[in-house]
Structure 1
């Protein structure tokens, strides 16, 4: 009897230990949508389509009304999410071209390396767009390194750039998947031959026409930015991308379900070219853009079903976000403009992708951890750049002083703890290092345009250039759409925010405890 009681006690002790470990080290899944606006999902007010799986995620978790990305284009936001450092501090952090070398240098502290150090198996599946290879750029027919595996990821399955840029191949770990050595892959900036088909010379063959810019190499009836030849056995079909991300994510979760894992699910939806799988085409009245949102919602549902099936939902922190705000016509004639109807992709906000107006950086932002995060709505200010510091706190990892220089520990706010506070300020940028910034502090938001040109909202929700003063001030409480510049009425506030923004840019960091002297 004593032996039986002792065994029972030991079993209970092990079970309690496992539950405590699970509570301290939950699995982490970050789902990043691409070009998804604040008003693009139904739990944030969309009425022209339904996103039931994202809505359920919000209903079971915390839906943020002031959730941001740090930039209004993809490469700088992804750089900042991974490194915890504003992209304007780095080099080559604008929208990466097809042959861009690795932007994040090997050995850089990232959210993946932090969690890897904490005992997590880490993976990125989906869009990368942060460059591959050394200074000479990617060796498409050899080893594609450095890349994700040199900055903390154990494995990766990637769309190497973004799908409106060549090449249309998958990268698994360090190599192009299914590449035939007898049919080498070449990627370049100029036509490889005079008779190379392009969207200009063979426009009548396209199944989706271009509207501007995307008129070079044709693949799958769609012309792209840049040129490539060869690699035919490695090429994918646009319509199959979402299915492949889900397939590979399921495999990763199933393989690592017994130990902590981190999955960065980096969706390509709803970036152009919007070519959802045939089973989603025509599911909305908004054209392929709306159909791609429905496809994205399906992906979220499939991931959540996988967690439920493996009984991991109560041991997994899920973060849903977007890399920037929406854009309608981004280079292809896909019906997004013509079929927009009553839909407001940015919700009540002005601007969108490419701009520092709220529509460019305020996006859907949801956290769910069943049994740990109380469902509700939060008005705290949080940003994707805060994930490294916050997840370091969650897993009890110490950040070196010279790392994650703008990432704040807002774990309590992300968890919905009582009286928890998010950020007290946030710098936003549009793309690269071109001198366009915004600083939000409380109800105030300062715009700074060193080139005195802004992306603003015009007819039919499209974005266009418009001349503006170098500085503008908006009160987001009274004017959430940022329509009225009040800098003249509030000179003291304008002066204070101008000085604060200049100091943040100059000092090289904003995270307490970070090394302000270090520069990339």
Structure 2
């Protein structure tokens, strides 16, 4: 090559293009490494403490969820926002405990409350921080004609259920995609109560024949399509930070699953096969999500939270089976109750105490177990720290990022507070307090009396007085739910004095 060829404009342009391209590649890699982590919160519905292998389950297979614990941190003192669905999710989204959250019950006198304009959510915060935000599953914090629908509360994309009652059928008439209804003609009439409220049959291959559906091959199981859409969301947003809130509906009843899978030939009552198959089906979808993150090169820069929305599930789902044939309950069979007294819909410790774990490769030391006491309202400030933004000052939560990473000082709550159906509860270190509707304050030591059977309030009067003050300070009156100790008449007078109109019966509205 002569000197003229060395200075050939074409060669010089090509060389510059190659250098520029290499520079772009380097920059892209640098940007990908420096960007804030993707945040995924997987919420199971009514999963009991011991339904997972990592929490001691022997009969139900959950290798993928167990992997989150094995490769991350498992918590022994994690708490839901409430002991029932909607308020628990309100605390999770708002970073507020139940003395301050907007939604404090599933409903009151057939009225479902909604988040409102002016309420602030973790999705809003992350969207402002540059995240793409998606909710797939059950919302429970607004109906279609209320202001708190997901797209107005910070979510760029929503696919799933608004009304919890609609979520009681896994073969629904429709689901929402953002504000549009997506209908499933193949599901026929299963969504009608007379069909979904009764147990469906299974064929010899262990495949379900849902009541009200002529051809199951054309039916759409909502859990499956919701998780499919969640994977699409990850694929579509792989090049930018995203927040995925995967609010699964399993294993909440009525119990039904497309296939019994490996449990088909077990010598178990059908409801036990269904429960196990539903939990394992969720585990399989968690596995698909983790595989996708790995295939897209996102695994190391994605933090995954997993938890249940309330404590020990109630046994109402199996009544339709046990009325026909006696047998062990789900709790007796799977031995999945938490180590403390309480269950869904009451206010003892087990009603709020949930399985929870967090995985973030390279940032959270694998296989760690933490006894740090935290609750759903701590997720919002933790997400703020992850996104590199400031938390709102009006929230009740505290970031648990120092606990997760082992870096920095972890600030602990003085106490955790809940209220439900005018009953109040507080976790204060080793102590647990319960007060029924303004009545006597019961006090228990969770370490020596996990079943909360020995009320020690009489010999700890100073502590009882302290907790009483905490309960009073933590409660802010609501214009939807009566306050602890407030009579129905006093509540109605308060509403009238504040010119608050009567609420409609919207419990069944979509």
Instruction: Return the TM-score normalized by structure 1.
Output: 0.75
- The match for 2:346 is 355
Give 3-state SS (helix, strand or coil) of 2:334's partner: coil
Which residue does 1:307 correspond to in 2?
A: 293
Matched, 1:76 2:93: no
Provide the C-alpha distance between the structure 1 equivalents of 2:182 and 2:93, rounded to a whole number of angstroms: 24
Q: How many Å apart are 1:412 and its aligned residue?
A: 1.4
- Unmatched tracts of structure 1, length 5 or more: 136-144, 188-196, 210-218, 223-231, 453-469, 509-519
CA, structure 1 residues 280+97, in 2 after alignment: closer, same or farther (shift >3 Å)?
farther
- Counterpart CA distance in 2 for 1:98 and 1:10 is 64
**Paired positions, count:** 439
Matches within 5 A, 1:243-258: 243-258=224-239
Q: Please give the residue correspondences for 1:231-242 in structure 2 after superposition, counting only pairs within 5 Å.
A: 240-242=221-223
* 1:136-187 C-alpha deviation (Å, 9 max, x unpaired): xxxxxxxxx651000100010012223227964201101111389xxxx9x9
Q: CA separation in 2, counterparts of 1:400 and 1:123?
A: 21
**Given that residues 314 and 343 in structure 2 are in contact (C-alpha distance below 8 angstroms), is that contact kept between their aligned partners in structure 1?**
no
1:489 aligned counterpart, secondary structure = coil
Whether the aligned pair in 1 keeps the contact of 2:99 and 2:417 (CA below 8 Å) is no
Question: Residues of 1 paired with 2:334 and 2:415: CA distance?
Answer: 30
- Higher Cα radius of gyration: 2
Distance 2:297 2:32 in 1: 13
Contact persistence 2:81–2:90 (CA under 8 A)? no
Q: 1:316 aligns with which of 289, 302, 326?
A: 302
Q: Determine the C-alpha separation between the residues in 2 that align with 1:146 and 1:446.
A: 33
Deviates most, 322-331 or 280-289: 280-289
Cα distance in structure 2, aligned partners of 1:260 and 1:198: 41
* Distance verdict in 2 for CA 1:309–1:476, change over 3 Å: same
Give the one of 251, 255, 268 matched to 1:274: 255
SS in 2 for 1:76: helix
Taking structure 1 as reference, are residues 368 and 64 closer, same or farther at Cα in structure 2, changes over 3 Å only?
A: same
In structure 1, the partner of 2:417 is: 427
Deviations for 1:345-393, whole angstroms, at most 9, x for unmatched residues? 2232212101222221111111111111112111111211111111112
RMSD: 3.6
Cα separation, 1, equivalents of 2:122 and 2:198: 40
Match of 2:180 in 1: 175
Q: 1:73-106 CA distances to partner (integer Å, 9 max, x unpaired)?
A: 0000001101112244355531149996661113
Q: Could you report, residue by residue, the CA deviation over 1:195-218 in whole angstroms, capped at 9, with x for unpaired residues?
A: xx864xx89x94359xxxxxxxxx
Deviation at 1:297, TM superposition (A): 1.4
Residue 428 of structure 1: CA displacement? Answer: 2.4
Q: Distance in 2 between matches of 1:245 and 1:435?
A: 35
What is the CA–CA distance in structure 1 between the aligned matches of 2:117 and 2:418, rounded to whole Å? 26
Return closer, same or farther for 1:97/1:435 CA change in 2, 3 Å cut-off.
closer
Structure 1 residues 503 and 365, CA, compared in 2 at 3 Å: closer, same or farther?
same
Q: Is the 8 A contact 1:96 1:161 kept in 2?
A: no
Could you tell which deviates more after superposition, 278-287 or 103-112?
Answer: 278-287
CA contact (8 A) 1:425 1:442 kept: yes
Question: Is 1:386 equivalent to 2:378 in the alignment?
Answer: yes
Partner SS, residue 250 of structure 2: coil
- Please give the alpha-carbon distance, in whole angstroms, between the structure 2 residues aligned to 1:377 and 1:422: 17
- Over 3 Å counting, the alpha-carbon distance change for 1:274 and 1:178 in structure 2 is same
Maintained 8 Å contact 1:102/1:147:
no
Contact 2:141 2:148 (8 Å CA) reproduced: no
TM-score of the superposition, structure 2-length normalised?
A: 0.77
Relative to its length, the structure with more helix (as a share) is 2
Q: Secondary structure at the match of 1:363?
A: strand
Q: Secondary structure at the match of 1:267?
A: strand
Structure 2: segments with no counterpart, 5+ residues = 1-11, 202-208, 479-499, 501-510
CA contact (8 A) 1:97 1:161 kept: no
Deviations 1:254-292 (A, max 9, x none): 000011011100000111112122144835643322222
